[in-house]
C-alpha cells in the first residue's frame, strides 16, 4: 500500500513538473512579450535590425516555407506509408530496411539536415539561400513524422474493411482510394498538422538554407527569415532585441498550441470512431 501511494505521488509530481515547466515558460513569454503585441506588430516590417517594427514579412516567409515543406513531404510520405502497410510484407528485407531508414531519419539532428540542405539544395541544385531550399530541407525532416502517422492510421483501419473490398471484387487501388484512406483521414490530417508544427518551429536547418533576410520575399526563390530564425537573431545578435524576440516567440508558441490542439482533437475523434466501429 505504501509503495503504491509513493509511486502515485511520484507520477503526479512528474506530471506537475512538466506542466509547471510549460506554464513557467508561457508566463515568462506573456510577461515579456504581451506588451509588444499589437496589430501593427503583426503586419509591419522589421526596422532597426528587428528592434522596432513588426514581423509581417517574417510571418509570410514562415508560411511559405511551411507550405513548400508540406507540399513536398506529404505526397511522398503518403505513398511510402501506403506501400509499407498495403503493398509489402512487414517481414520483408526491403520493407525492414525502409522502416530502419525512417527511424534513423527521425533521430538525425536538425543541424545535420541544415548542412545537407545547404550542400544539396543551395549549392548543388543552385537554389541558393531561398524559401524553396528551406522548405525542401524541412520536408526531409518531417518525412518520418508524416510516414509514421499515416502508416499507424492505415494499420488501425479494421481488416474487415479490406476483406469486404476483396469480397466485392474491388482492386487494391480502388479499396485504398474509396475505403481505406477515407477511414484513416483523421490520422492523416493529424500527421499533417504535427508536421506543420515541427516545420514551423525549426531553426538550425533554416539558418543554413532559407537565410536571414527579413524583407518581404518576392518569390519562393528569394531568401526569407522564419519566425524561429528571427527569434534566434534578435536574442543572440541584436542588442536590445529581447522585447521583440519575446513577442515573436509568443506568436510562435500560440501558433504551435493551435496546431497541437487541433492534432490532439483529430486523434481523439479518430479513436472514438475506431471504438465505435469495433
CA distance 140 to 104: 12
DSSP 220: T
Domain count, the chain: 1
CA distance 241 to 236: 9
At 277, the pLDDT band (50, 70, 90 cuts) reads low
Considering the domain boundaries, does residue 30 fall inside one?
no
Contact indicator for 117, 140 with CB cutoff of 8 Å = yes
Cell of 131: 524559401
Contact indicator for 138, 61 with CB cutoff of 8 Å = no
Q: Which structural domain, as residue segments, surrounds residue 165?
A: 36-277
Query: pLDDT of 5-38, one tens digit each?
Result: 777 888 888 888 888 888 888 888 888 888 888 8
Cβ-in-10-Å burial (0-12, 13-18, 19+) of 116 comes to middle
Q: pTM of the predicted model, to two decimals? A: 0.86
pLDDT of residue 275: 60
Considering the domain boundaries, does residue 19 fall inside one?
no
Contact indicator for 58, 230 with CB cutoff of 8 Å = yes
Contact indicator for 66, 130 with CB cutoff of 8 Å = no
Considering the domain boundaries, does residue 177 fall inside one?
yes
Rounded average pLDDT over 150-161: 83
Considering the domain boundaries, does residue 169 fall inside one?
yes
Considering the domain boundaries, does residue 24 fall inside one?
no
Considering the domain boundaries, does residue 132 fall inside one?
yes
Least confident span in 72-86, 138-152, 154-168, 243-257: 154-168
Contact indicator for 142, 68 with CB cutoff of 8 Å = no
Question: Mean of the per-residue pLDDT values for the chain?
Answer: 85
What CATH number has the domain bearing residue 209? 1.10.3720.10
Amino acid at each position: 500500500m505504501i509503495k503504491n501511494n509513493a509511486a502515485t505521488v511520484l507520477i503526479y509530481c512528474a506530471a506537475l513538473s512538466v506542466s509547471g515547466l510549460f506554464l513557467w515558460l508561457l508566463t515568462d513569454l506573456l510577461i515579456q512579450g504581451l506588451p509588444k503585441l499589437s496589430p501593427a506588430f503583426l503586419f509591419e516590417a522589421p526596422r532597426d535590425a528587428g528592434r522596432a517594427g513588426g514581423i509581417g514579412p517574417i510571418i509570410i516567409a514562415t508560411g511559405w516555407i511551411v507550405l513548400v515543406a508540406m507540399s513536398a513531404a506529404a505526397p511522398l510520405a503518403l505513398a511510402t506509408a501506403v506501400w509499407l502497410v498495403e503493398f509489402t510484407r512487414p517481414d520483408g528485407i526491403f520493407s525492414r530496411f525502409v522502416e530502419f531508414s525512417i527511424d534513423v531519419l527521425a533521430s538525425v539532428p536538425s543541424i545535420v539536415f541544415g548542412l545537407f540542405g545547404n550542400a544539396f539544395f543551395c549549392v548543388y541544385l543552385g537554389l541558393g539561400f531561398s524559401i524553396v531550399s528551406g522548405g525542401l530541407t524541412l520536408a526531409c525532416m518531417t518525412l518520418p513524422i508524416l510516414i509514421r502517422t499515416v502508416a499507424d492510421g492505415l494499420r488501425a483501419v479494421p481488416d474487415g474493411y479490406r476483406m469486404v473490398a476483396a469480397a466485392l471484387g474491388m482492386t487494391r487501388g480502388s479499396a485504398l482510394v474509396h475505403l481505406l484512406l477515407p477511414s484513416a483521414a483523421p490520422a492523416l490530417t493529424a500527421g499533417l498538422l504535427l508536421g506543420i508544427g515541427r516545420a514551423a518551429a525549426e531553426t538550425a536547418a533554416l539558418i543554413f538554407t532559407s537565410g536571414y533576410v527579413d524583407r518581404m520575399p518576392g518569390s519562393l526563390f528569394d531568401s526569407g527569415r522564419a519566425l524561429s530564425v528571427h527569434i534566434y537573431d534578435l536574442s543572440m545578435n541584436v542588442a536590445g532585441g529581447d522585447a521583440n524576440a519575446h513577442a515573436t516567440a509568443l506568436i510562435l508558441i500560440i501558433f504551435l498550441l493551435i496546431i497541437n490542439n487541433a492534432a490532439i482533437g483529430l486523434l481523439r475523434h479518430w479513436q472514438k470512431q475506431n471504438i465505435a466501429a469495433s
